[in-house]
Structure 1
Amino acid sequence: MILLKDWGNLFMFSDFLYERPDLTQYKDTFESATQAFSTATDYTKAKQALKKLNTLRSAMAKNMKLAYIRHSINTKDDFYNRENEFWDHHEPLVDQIHNTFYQSLLSSPFKKELLKDYPETLFLFAEDQLALLDESVIELKQKENEVVSQYTQLIASAELLFDGKKCTLSELAAYFSHPDRELRKIAQEVYVAFFSDHEAEFDQIFDQLVQLRDQQAKKLGFANYVEYGDRLMNRWSYNREQLQAFRRFIIEDVVPINQKLYQRQKERLNVTSLEYYDLPLVYPNGNPQPRGNAETLVHEAQKMYHELSPETGEFFNQMITDQLMDLLSRPGKQSGGYCEYIDEVKMPFIFANFNGTSDDVDVLTHETGHAFQSYLSRWIEEPELVFPTSDTAEIHSMSMEFLTWPWMSNFFGDESKKYQFAHLSSALQFLPYGALVDHFQEKVYSHPEWTPKERKNCWRKLEKLYCPERDYQASEALARGIYWYRQGHIFEVPFYYIDYTLAQVCALQFWQRAIVEKDPTTWTDYLAICRIGGSKTFLETVKLGNLYSPFNQAKMKNLLTVVDDYLSMITEADLR
């Protein structure tokens, strides 16, 4: 029996012990193990020392992640507030301790033998870490962590009065797709008002982040934080010029298809103009909603994953048994959704904010994709490599959304086809927005001297280029360019967002193979890329999955044609 009502009491994984480490003792122990690795007289001893270093780093990572998860579950918890502050300050110090190992790894006399037994990505990661951190930027990183925490606390603090009750931002967003046009407009206005009321705070937070990040990059010899950011994201198999070309492809080839979809939506909703508050509503009578509460969704997901494969069935059972999901939105809970792999206990954790919309199914399948991948990669002993780089990781999550399509009737009943049309459309409609976020950050970090007003002007200019459907005549605040305040990645994990777009076109290839072509090898290839964790680069993983590179524009154009044709063949009569 899944007792979701008990999940809000924060006891879902209470057996996982959190301990604040003694960093002085840890440093001594770690440096002793690193010394043993560096001075090993034979390769066997070097491997033994490396195994111990993996164990030490896994135990440290477990404590850091437990502190993060439990703080995000309840940002009002005094104990984990203090632990969050502790890690804001000490995480860069731990990273610096670990850099002694990376230095020893790269200079090891047994490097040739190590490269045969360990993934090359471990060495690439070590090179990046040494380039991204030294003593000169420790204080800047500590301050950056503190300012990011200010942002997450500010977002989590939102308790907005609407419809006779207090709502979190996630709960309020459920009204964005309400069939009553006036109600969804007011809901959007209340939502936007939170950001405009705190505009000075968001500007101050982001201004600090830009300056802190720019200083770090230049202290370490980078031209700007754009260069630093790409190194931070471990872009080992492509460069920024390829990303810029990919963004241009999205503008030229994806945006026009999306405009056809928005025109259909306008006609379907029977409105004279598609306002910004109309965009989330796909169908005039309301978007498909999952049937049942959160407990029902998890039960249906459990049945689905048992039917999908033996591996997913076994995995999801353990997620339920160990109560490794926190899905319900509530006051004080951090916004958004994520999956975190808890080292040492070797299990993932899924965090979400269900609000009763189809987003609940999206986030459940998405984060389960991440969790399943890490579950299959538990064999990897290097904590850096269980989760791959984010460009690869998002293939697993976004593809899982599509690979579970045959079971959507379990969640949406006779509206499953309407859900699938909206879901596939949204995958295309996301691509320009994902590219917009990357372009915006590239501009901002190339101009760290910009004022808040200049940043907002830049956002709005790019928004018109990538998302011309956004009509803000009814919102002075959004027309001024503050939409991006709500995008936590911009504040918390800069330059992550473009990875979603790279992964999306890979996920669409899995969709094409599984749904359109009914290729029986699709699931085998998906399992193959899940099992390797971060032991291969992004493009190596794409090749292993028998996918085409996102940077192969001819193949991407063909993919777009398949998606466009599929959506075009679905008539409006089919969507009633």
Structure 2
Amino acid sequence: MSQLTFPDFEYARPDLDRLETAFHAVLEALKTADSLNDASAAVEQIDSIRASVATAYNIGYIRYSIDTRDEFYRTEKDWFDQHLPRTEQWRVDYYRALLDSPHREALEQHFGSQLFDSAKVSINTFRPEILDELQQVNKLSSEFTQLRGGAAIELDGTTYNLSSIAPLEQVPDRDKRKKASTAKWDWFAQNRQRFEDVYGEMVTLRTEMARKLEYDSFVELGYANMNRTDYGPAEVANFRRQIQEFIVPIAQKLYDKQRERIGVDRLRYYDLGFRFPDGNAKPQGDPAAIVAHADKMYRELSTETGEFFQYLQDAKLMDLEAKDGKAPGGYCTFINEYQAPYIFSNFNGTSHDIDVLTHEFGHAFQVYSSRDQRPMEYNWPTFDAAEIHSMSMEFFTYPWMEGFFGPDTEKYYFSHVAGAFRFLPYGCAVDEFQHRVYDNPTLDNDGRNAIWKEMEAKYLPHLDYSDHPHLADGTFWQSQGHIFSVPFYYIDYCLAQICAFQFFLRDEQDHTGAWADYVKLCRAGGSKSFLQLVELAGLENPFEDGVVERIANRMRERLGV
């Protein structure tokens, strides 16, 4: 029997009326169940109904991402934007039934407490009164994706998109770097008003949703939407304080070393992506050669990863190369009914191509490892824990980097570790920016840009935008998609990076033990909360005072600053 491939996966718009009727029938069975067996069977049936909707959405979203100009899947994406929010009521009704079930104690023993902890956090994230706002936010999010996906950046008679212009921002010739980077940011400047207005509308709509749900601000609702069951804004603020105190000074030394290394008097915005005077580390070979070496790498890393990467290739569950009309960025998603992860990316000839094959593969390996977890909430952990899998996989694959980079391997190692380290202040800037914005939702566009300038001064004091008026106005945040589409999903990367650094340091001392804990973490999926998963993997809690400082000092030694 031949392998079923992604192009063969069947897409059909879900009949929400029919599914809603079926859902309510099963929900009633859950409420009136006579035994644990009957109640758990109802949970599994509800999973099946919800999985069918998720499957259709993800197949359609992937095909839309691959070509945002495809009229059929663009129409389907618009339809989901309009109609998917009604299924939020299903989720809330389901969670309420779980919490009120006479078999709750037995169900909690059967499925574990995380489902019920999540239900308690999520139960007040939807009411029918916010349906209109959800639909409008979805529409705006799609407009943002289409705007970025359709970017046409003219440079020297050639048209680039946001992915394909990136290599030109990393060339040794400084004038050419400046020209390419200026062209990109000029495109953002030309579309600035719409970017700002889209976000302003989103902030207003999200704040109105929070008001209707009786939260003090969208910050609380945002945290509930992120399913954060064991920490809140206070813990995150303390974490950001530690990053500012212990990471920012080291990051500034890294930037100063970079300035000296590439021989410039000041690091300008068009210098940041250029790391070495003879050019950045670049992968060798075309995309087919890169995938071939990745296949070898994963076969040698472990039996599980080897078999899984082969499956991704055979089932055509990756779309890696940049193309016109393709949405920018990269992601991994999961097609429930096929139990198939999917990796989406935009290869552009930079080291980022390899980072995607490790980072997104880490996500895919995790969800595939926990695909049999029930209920479906346990297929994925919360975003904070999920990023541990992806970022740690980047380090576990270090022994095979020479096959990608050849003589540039040492440059890649340094750039990758330094880049991960320097990301932490930026991630905190994005997070605090969002807190400030949603705490002050009546600010206008200039007010939000002023907050971003404060964040740059606090976390990213090396930035020099003095020769680009658009960026000097505090607009860099408008290029960060998470701010628009997934509010408060960013500090997760920072928390996970501190955990991934721990796996990196452990792997150097004891690969077998570190890898075993990593696989255990992947198989646990979302069956535990973030801090419980951190403990399961034998990692230190990144919120605890002293942990960031210890990691910072150990990584500083490796970076030589």
Q: Do they fold alike, i.e. is TM over 0.5?
A: yes
Structure 1 vs Structure 2: percent identity of aligned residues? Answer: 42
1:233–1:496 contact (8 Å) kept in structure 2: yes
2:243–2:548 contact (8 Å) kept in structure 1: no
Match of 2:541 among 549, 567, 570: 549
> Are 1:197 and 2:190 counterparts?
yes
Give the drift of 1:382: 2.0
> Are 1:563 and 2:555 counterparts?
yes
Aligned residue in 2 for 1:374: 367
Aligned residue in 2 for 1:222: 215
Q: Which amino acid is 1:98 matched to?
A: R
Match of 1:525 among 499, 517, 529: 517
Q: Which amino acid is 1:146 matched to?
A: K
TM-score, normalised relative to structure 2 = 0.98
Partner of 2:359: helix, strand, or coil?
A: helix
For 1:280 and 1:458, the matched residues in 2 are separated by 24
Q: Which amino acid is 1:96 matched to?
A: Q
For 1:62 and 1:39, the matched residues in 2 are separated by 29
Aligned residue in 1 for 2:351: 358
> Are 1:506 and 2:506 counterparts?
no
Match of 2:149 among 145, 149, 156: 156
1:162–1:172 contact (8 Å) kept in structure 2: no
Q: Which amino acid is 2:513 matched to?
A: T
Aligned residue in 1 for 2:250: 257
Give the drift of 1:248: 0.9
The correspondence of residues 116-265 of structure 1 with structure 2, limited to 5 A, is 116-265=109-258
Q: Which amino acid is 1:565 matched to?
A: E
Give the drift of 1:119: 2.4
Match of 1:297 among 285, 290, 296: 290
Give the drift of 1:555: 2.6
Partner of 2:546: helix, strand, or coil?
A: helix
1:327–1:352 contact (8 Å) kept in structure 2: yes
Partner of 2:375: helix, strand, or coil?
A: coil
Give the drift of 1:519: 4.5
Deviation per CA, 1:331-351: give whole Å up to 9, x if none. Answer: 111111000011011010000
Give the drift of 1:124: 2.2
The answer to which of 537-546 and 381-390 deviates more is 381-390
Deviation per CA, 1:344-394: give whole Å up to 9, x if none. Answer: 110100000110000110111100000000010011132222011000000
For 1:218 and 1:496, the matched residues in 2 are separated by 21
For 1:96 and 1:213, the matched residues in 2 are separated by 17
Partner of 2:220: helix, strand, or coil?
A: helix
2:5–2:317 contact (8 Å) kept in structure 1: yes
Partner of 1:161: helix, strand, or coil?
A: strand
For 1:203 and 1:562, the matched residues in 2 are separated by 40
Match of 1:344 among 337, 345, 351: 337
Partner of 1:348: helix, strand, or coil?
A: strand
Aligned residue in 2 for 1:114: 107
Partner of 1:521: helix, strand, or coil?
A: helix
Give the drift of 1:97: 2.2
Give the drift of 1:72: 1.0
Give the drift of 1:126: 2.1
For 2:94 and 2:447, the matched residues in 1 are separated by 43
Q: Which amino acid is 2:360 matched to?
A: E
2:43–2:375 contact (8 Å) kept in structure 1: no
Give the drift of 1:518: 3.9
2:111–2:375 contact (8 Å) kept in structure 1: no
Match of 1:20 among 10, 13, 17: 13
Give the drift of 1:231: 1.1
Partner of 1:179: helix, strand, or coil?
A: coil
Partner of 2:503: helix, strand, or coil?
A: helix
Report the aligned-residue RMSD: 1.2
The answer to which of 484-493 and 119-128 deviates more is 119-128
For 1:243 and 1:24, the matched residues in 2 are separated by 41
> Are 1:456 and 2:457 counterparts?
no
For 2:277 and 2:115, the matched residues in 1 are separated by 51
For 1:89 and 1:97, the matched residues in 2 are separated by 16
The correspondence of residues 269-288 of structure 1 with structure 2, limited to 5 A, is 269-288=262-281
For 2:426 and 2:18, the matched residues in 1 are separated by 46
Partner of 1:166: helix, strand, or coil?
A: strand
For 1:106 and 1:86, the matched residues in 2 are separated by 32
For 2:267 and 2:91, the matched residues in 1 are separated by 53
> Are 1:471 and 2:446 counterparts?
no
State the 4+ residue runs in structure 1 displaced beyond 6 angstroms. none
For 1:387 and 1:333, the matched residues in 2 are separated by 26
For 2:550 and 2:40, the matched residues in 1 are separated by 47
TM-score, normalised relative to structure 1 = 0.95
For 2:370 and 2:342, the matched residues in 1 are separated by 14
Aligned residue in 2 for 1:483: 476
Partner of 2:332: helix, strand, or coil?
A: strand
Q: Which amino acid is 2:548 matched to?
A: M
For 2:16 and 2:254, the matched residues in 1 are separated by 55
1:159–1:331 contact (8 Å) kept in structure 2: no
For 1:324 and 1:110, the matched residues in 2 are separated by 40
For 1:476 and 1:124, the matched residues in 2 are separated by 48
Give the drift of 1:100: 2.2
Match of 2:85 among 85, 92, 95: 92
Q: Which amino acid is 2:162 matched to?
A: L
The correspondence of residues 54-69 of structure 1 with structure 2, limited to 5 A, is 54-69=47-62
Aligned residue in 2 for 1:394: 387
For 1:173 and 1:423, the matched residues in 2 are separated by 17
For 1:72 and 1:427, the matched residues in 2 are separated by 27
Give the drift of 1:136: 1.0
2:5–2:314 contact (8 Å) kept in structure 1: no
1:457–1:481 contact (8 Å) kept in structure 2: yes
Deviation per CA, 1:432-476: give whole Å up to 9, x if none. Answer: 000000000000001111010011011012111101111111111
Give the drift of 1:12: 6.0
Q: Classify 1:262/1:131 alpha carbon distance in 2 versus 1 (closer, same or farther; 3 Å).
A: same
Aligned residue in 2 for 1:6: none
Deviation per CA, 1:100-120: give whole Å up to 9, x if none. Answer: 222211111100100001022
Aligned residue in 2 for 1:77: 70
For 2:458 and 2:40, the matched residues in 1 are separated by 53
1:392–1:538 contact (8 Å) kept in structure 2: yes
The correspondence of residues 432-451 of structure 1 with structure 2, limited to 5 A, is 432-451=425-444
Q: Any unmatched runs of 5+ in structure 1?
A: 1-10, 570-576
Match of 2:94 among 74, 86, 101: 101
For 2:416 and 2:333, the matched residues in 1 are separated by 25
For 2:322 and 2:106, the matched residues in 1 are separated by 50
Partner of 1:332: helix, strand, or coil?
A: coil
Partner of 1:169: helix, strand, or coil?
A: coil
Partner of 1:55: helix, strand, or coil?
A: helix
Deviation per CA, 1:2-55: give whole Å up to 9, x if none. Answer: xxxxxxxxx961221111111111111111111111111222222222221111
For 1:12 and 1:255, the matched residues in 2 are separated by 46
For 1:365 and 1:130, the matched residues in 2 are separated by 35
For 1:15 and 1:213, the matched residues in 2 are separated by 38
Partner of 2:341: helix, strand, or coil?
A: strand
Partner of 1:131: helix, strand, or coil?
A: coil
1:12–1:325 contact (8 Å) kept in structure 2: no
Give the drift of 1:98: 2.9
For 1:52 and 1:126, the matched residues in 2 are separated by 18
